[in-house]
């Protein structure tokens, strides 16, 4: 039976506690999250991305800003995240506005990526039509020749986004679908309000 003690007053503390448990159960991809975006007219899209930073400022992921998700976030800065940790029977939903990370943050993270991943950021016109795999491999080879060592600059079209939460929901599976749902909502001048929802 999961622990249903009173929720932490800080949703970030609650998230980090759950994430730490998730890493034990899912050491390969506990940081995988669904990112949902929408066009200005409300057409939704969702895909899996990897969480690369989480603190009280928000939740960070990196991408080509000219990709479909990048263009949608530029036009509509509202987004939602979903973490699903099946072995723990848990989900975390996060909703908020999105902002770009600083160039210094993007540079620092880009430098930690494997060399081929950094070259791939140059070679890939992410989300654009690709005639064949050979075209991608040719472009990758061109950038390998251009940047033969480890000194590979971050492309101007590659950066990060931070989802600044306005709402969290922590969902815990329970028998007979009588699940436990705890919601945190940001309230101006108050901090976070905490409540529960019917399953």
Nearest to 79 by CA among 34, 13, 12, 20: 34
How does pLDDT run along the chain (199 residues), one tens digit per residue? Answer: 344 455 678 999 999 999 999 999 999 999 999 999 999 999 999 999 999 999 999 999 999 999 999 999 999 999 999 999 999 999 999 999 999 999 999 999 999 999 999 999 999 999 889 999 999 999 999 999 999 999 999 999 999 999 999 999 999 999 999 999 999 999 988 899 999 999 9
Alpha-helix residue ranges (DSSP H) falling in 11-102: 11-25, 68-75
CA 152 from chain centre, in angstroms, equals 24
Instruction: Kindly report the pTM of this predicted structure.
Output: 0.92
Q: Provide the pLDDT for residue 188.
A: 85
Q: Provide the pLDDT for residue 189.
A: 81
Residues noted as catalytic: 177
Q: Provide the pLDDT for residue 33.
A: 98
Domain spans in the chain, listed from the N-terminal domain onward: 11-111+156-197, 115-153
Q: What class has domain 11-111+156-197?
A: mainly beta
The two tokens of residue 17 are 């506690």
**Under 8 Å CB-to-CB from 148, ≥6 apart: which residues?**
none
Q: What is the spatial distance between Cα 179 and Cα 8, in angstroms, rounded to a whole number?
A: 18
Q: Provide the pLDDT for residue 2.
A: 44
Q: Provide the pLDDT for residue 4.
A: 45
Q: Provide the pLDDT for residue 1.
A: 35
**Under 8 Å CB-to-CB from 119, ≥6 apart: which residues?**
140, 143, 144, 147, 152
Q: Provide the pLDDT for residue 5.
A: 52
On whether the CB atoms of residues 60 and 51 are closer than 8 A, the answer is yes
Q: What is the spatial distance between Cα 85 and Cα 15, in angstroms, rounded to a whole number?
A: 12
Strands 78-85 and 90-100 turn out to be antiparallel
On whether the CB atoms of residues 35 and 160 are closer than 8 A, the answer is no
Nearest to 194 by CA among 55, 13, 7: 7
């Amino acid at each position: 039976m999961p622990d249903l003690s009173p929720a932490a007053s800080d949703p970030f503390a609650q998230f980090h506690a759950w994430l730490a448990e998730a890493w034990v159960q899912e050491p390969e991809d506990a940081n995988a999250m669904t990112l949902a975006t929408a066009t200005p007219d409300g057409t939704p899209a969702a895909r899996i991305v990897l969480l690369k930073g989480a603190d009280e400022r928000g939740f960070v992921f990196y991408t080509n800003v000219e990709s479909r998700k990048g263009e949608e976030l530029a036009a509509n800065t509202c987004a939602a995240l979903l973490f699903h940790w099946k072995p723990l029977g848990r989900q975390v939903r996060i909703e908020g506005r999105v902002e770009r990370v600083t160039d210094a943050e993007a540079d620092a993270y880009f430098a930690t990526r494997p060399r081929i991943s950094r070259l791939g950021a140059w070679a890939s016109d992410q989300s654009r039509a690709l005639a064949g795999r050979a075209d991608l491999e040719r472009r990758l080879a061109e950038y390998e020749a251009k940047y033969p060592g480890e000194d590979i600059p971050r492309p101007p079209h590659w950066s990060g986004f931070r989802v600044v939460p306005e709402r969290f929901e922590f969902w815990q599976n329970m028998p007979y679908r009588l699940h436990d749902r705890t919601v945190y909502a940001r309230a101006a001048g108050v901090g976070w309000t905490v409540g529960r929802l019917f399953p």
